[in-house]
């Protein structure tokens, strides 16, 4: 008999006892699921550093693995059953941008290829200087943790960030703007320049980032300055420079016409008409005279008429 102090719920529904074996199995299963998810995204992304690449995918929206939707966790999903995240396509012809000299206080995970990330495809163009225009967004900038640890007062003094990207070969500005890092910062978040942070109006000569469109190998310099509440440069973070190099990408491969190639509307009829004109007996137009024998039909014309006759018979049936 249960004690007098026991509730009715405890009497009717006594707590289920879990053995040590069951608890260890549940913990191991959770760990395996977590490791499997991490391995999945590391394999799907083109870099060994998934959080520092331009192809970063929100892990909260990761595809479900075995066990999350009630499936048996002991059975591993087949390779072709695992949903892969969407990747960039049609990258042929994009310029190759590399970071030749990294900055001391910051890095950008999407401005160029380096140990910190890869160039985001939308920051380059395939048509050279003939199609030079602003990108849909601008590169992101993140402060290095080593720099923050070395300067404990930096985050407290930081208010704005001034950026300037110039082409060293042509002296043209591709990016010149100032950003307020505190305006949209959520409590507890680390200040950084995200690719959607808007520039302060009239804060530079080129507020929108211009894409990399080199007609020949070019060198670039990105200078970043941190500003305090009084819009004065922080003494140990002024014109911190990153060097980049951009080279034109190889031309896109020529498209091969196959049986699966989608032809424009009317293109098939034009091709057939062109072939008919080339057939013997059909080079000249005009009406035939009385008693004149009709010209011989070519192979293409004969095949077309045969197919039309068969199609007409099928419709009548």
Looking at the structure, tell me whether residues 102 and 232 fall in a common domain: yes
Domain membership flag for residue 122: yes
Domain membership flag for residue 166: yes
Domain membership flag for residue 307: no
Looking at the structure, tell me whether residues 62 and 191 fall in a common domain: no
Domain boundary (195, 220, 247) is at 247
Domain membership flag for residue 47: yes
pTM of the model: 0.56
Domain membership flag for residue 310: no
Looking at the structure, tell me whether residues 100 and 239 fall in a common domain: yes
Looking at the structure, tell me whether residues 76 and 109 fall in a common domain: no
Domain boundary (247, 265, 284) is at 247
Looking at the structure, tell me whether residues 40 and 162 fall in a common domain: no
Domain membership flag for residue 279: no
CATH number at residue 226: 3.90.280
Looking at the structure, tell me whether residues 110 and 161 fall in a common domain: yes
Q: What is the pLDDT of residue 35?
A: 58
Domain membership flag for residue 208: yes
Looking at the structure, tell me whether residues 50 and 154 fall in a common domain: no
Q: What is the pLDDT of residue 33?
A: 57
SS (H, E, C) the chain: CCCCCCCHHHHHCCCCCCCHHHHHHHHHHHHHHHHHHHHHHHHHCCCCCHHHCCCCCCHHHCCCCCCCCCCCCCCCCCHHHCCCCCCCCCCCCCCEEEEEECCCCEECCCCCEECCECCCHHHECCCHHHHCCECCCCCCEEECHHHHHHCCCHHHHCCEEEEEEEECCCCCEEEEEEEECCCCCCCCCCCCECCCCCCCCCCCCECCCECECCCCCEEEEEEEEEECCCCCECCCCCCEEEEEEEECCCCCCCCCCCCCCCCCCCHHHHHHHHHHHCCCCCCCCCCCCCCCCCCCCCHHHHHHHHHHHHHHHHHHC
Q: What is the pLDDT of residue 61?
A: 43
Q: What is the pLDDT of residue 307?
A: 80
Looking at the structure, tell me whether residues 170 and 123 fall in a common domain: yes
Q: What is the pLDDT of residue 305?
A: 77
Residue span of the structural domain in which 55 resides: 15-81
User: In total, how many domains does the chain have?
Assistant: 2
Q: What is the pLDDT of residue 303?
A: 73
Q: What is the pLDDT of residue 96?
A: 93
Looking at the structure, tell me whether residues 203 and 71 fall in a common domain: no
Domain membership flag for residue 277: no
Average pLDDT for consecutive 10-residue bins of the chain (317 residues)?
51 54 57 56 45 41 45 54 63 90 96 92 82 90 96 96 96 96 92 95 96 93 97 96 93 62 64 57 49 58 77 78
Looking at the structure, tell me whether residues 109 and 236 fall in a common domain: yes
């Amino acid at each position: 008999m249960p004690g007098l102090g026991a509730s009715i719920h405890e009497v009717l529904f006594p707590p289920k006892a879990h053995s040590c074996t069951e608890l260890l199995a549940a913990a191991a299963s959770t760990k395996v699921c977590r490791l499997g998810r991490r391995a999945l995204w590391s394999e799907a992304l083109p870099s060994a550093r998934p959080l520092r690449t331009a192809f970063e995918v929100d892990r909260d929206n990761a595809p479900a693995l075995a066990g999350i939707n009630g499936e048996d966790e002991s059975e591993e999903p087949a390779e072709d059953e695992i949903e892969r995240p969407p990747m960039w396509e049609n990258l042929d012809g994009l310029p190759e941008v590399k970071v030749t000299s990294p900055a001391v206080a910051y890095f950008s995970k999407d401005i160029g290829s380096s140990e910190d990330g890869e160039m985001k495809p939308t920051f380059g163009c395939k048509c050279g200087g003939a199609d030079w225009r602003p990108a849909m967004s601008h590169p992101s900038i993140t402060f290095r943790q080593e720099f923050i640890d070395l300067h404990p007062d930096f985050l407290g003094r930081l208010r704005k960030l001034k950026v300037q990207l110039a082409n060293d070969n042509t002296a043209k500005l591709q990016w010149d703007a100032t950003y307020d890092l505190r305006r949209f910062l959520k409590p507890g978040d680390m200040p950084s320049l995200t690719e959607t942070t808007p520039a302060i109006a009239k804060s530079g000569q080129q507020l929108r980032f211009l894409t990399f469109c080199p007609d020949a190998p070019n060198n670039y310099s990105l200078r970043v300055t941190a500003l305090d509440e009084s819009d004065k440069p922080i003494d140990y973070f002024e014109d911190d420079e990153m060097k980049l190099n951009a080279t034109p990408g190889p031309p896109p491969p020529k498209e091969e016409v196959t049986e699966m190639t989608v032809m424009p509307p009317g293109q098939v009829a034009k091709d057939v008409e062109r072939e008919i004109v080339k057939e013997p007996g059909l080079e000249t137009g005009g009406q035939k005279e009385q008693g004149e024998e009709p010209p011989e039909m070519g192979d293409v014309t004969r095949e077309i008429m045969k197919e039309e006759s068969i199609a007409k018979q099928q419709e009548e049936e």
